[in-house]
């Protein structure tokens, strides 16, 4: 798991602006959702192209958070990234960012019937949880998923963001959530990426300008 400590200079700047260290220092459980981003085989284990093995270490914390959110009366949302074959044209810029061989290695495992698309088996998914497929890094960008309709239907205003990768789909989803007027918290020990440097850069910047960053234990205590 990543080693991360929020720089005290960042905390001072946030306190000077908003009067407290944490935007989300209180929760209404019934208006809170845990959003688990892309904890799929493709993003968690070899030999897949985007494997981030550190994400496997997040599973106990995500399961703890899921239990706490359910107990508080909130929703648990499991996002799964899909790469439709048509997106080779509709999102062709991503295709350009891969070699021909890597295009095949990215798109094939991200089909609904592939092992790579499936959620990691030790995640504690319940029948009452929401399962949502997204088609872009952010779940909120137009055409990516129906997450906003689901959240509005359930009167959700606060999102706890976990998953992989911190600086790609987690960050994209959390930033767009804030822009759509959700209170968003990224979980420092509930997100993973390729390096400590990338983890720190994303969490620090998100905390300064977009939302909140807390640990699993802090969130469970406040829920």
For the chain, percent of residues with pLDDT exceeding 70: 100
CA angle 191, 192, 193 (to 5 degrees): 140
| pLDDT tens track for 61-88 | 999 999 999 999 999 999 999 999 999 8
Tokens of 74: 């909130």
For 27-222, CATH number? 3.40.50.850
Q: Is the pLDDT of residue 1 over 90?
A: no
In this prediction, residue 206 carries a pLDDT of 98
Contact between 192 and 58 under an 8 Å Cβ cutoff? The reply is yes
Q: Is the pLDDT of residue 141 over 90?
A: yes
Full 3-state SS string of 186-222 = EEEEEEECCCHHHHHHHHHHHHHHCCEEECHHHHHHH
Mean pLDDT of 171-186: 98
In this prediction, residue 200 carries a pLDDT of 98
Phi–psi pair at 39, nearest 5 degrees: -80, 65
Grade residue 95 by pLDDT with cuts at 50, 70 and 90: very high
Contact between 156 and 50 under an 8 Å Cβ cutoff? The reply is no
Contact between 73 and 30 under an 8 Å Cβ cutoff? The reply is yes
Identify the DSSP state of 5. Answer: -
Phi–psi pair at 57, nearest 5 degrees: -70, -15
Q: Is the pLDDT of residue 16 over 90?
A: yes
Contact between 63 and 56 under an 8 Å Cβ cutoff? The reply is no
In this prediction, residue 175 carries a pLDDT of 98
What are the extents of the domains in the chain? Answer: 27-222
Mean pLDDT of 7-30: 98
Mean pLDDT of 183-200: 98
In this prediction, residue 32 carries a pLDDT of 98
pLDDT mean across residues, the chain? 97
């Amino acid at each position: 798991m990543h080693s991360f400590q929020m720089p005290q200079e960042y905390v001072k700047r946030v306190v000077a602006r908003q009067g407290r260290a944490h935007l989300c220092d209180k929760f209404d459980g019934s208006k809170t959702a845990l959003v688990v981003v892309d904890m799929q085989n493709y993003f968690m284990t070899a030999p897949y192209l985007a494997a981030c093995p550190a994400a496997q270490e997040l599973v106990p914390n995500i399961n703890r958070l899921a239990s706490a959110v359910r107990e508080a009366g909130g929703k648990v949302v499991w996002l799964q990234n899909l790469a439709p074959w048509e997106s080779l044209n509709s999102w062709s810029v991503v295709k350009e960012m891969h070699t021909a061989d890597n295009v095949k290695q990215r798109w094939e495992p991200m089909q609904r019937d592939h092992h790579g698309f499936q959620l990691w088996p030790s995640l504690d998914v319940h029948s009452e949880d929401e399962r949502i497929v997204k088609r872009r890094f952010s779940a909120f960008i137009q055409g990516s998923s129906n997450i906003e309709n689901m959240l509005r239907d359930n009167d959700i205003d606060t999102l706890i963001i976990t998953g992989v990768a911190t600086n790609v789909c987690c960050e994209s989803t959390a930033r767009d959530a804030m822009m759509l007027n959700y209170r968003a918290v990224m979980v420092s020990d509930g997100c993973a990426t390729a390096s400590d440097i990338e983890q720190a850069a994303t969490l620090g910047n998100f905390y300064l300008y977009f939302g909140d960053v807390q640990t699993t234990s802090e969130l469970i205590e406040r829920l």
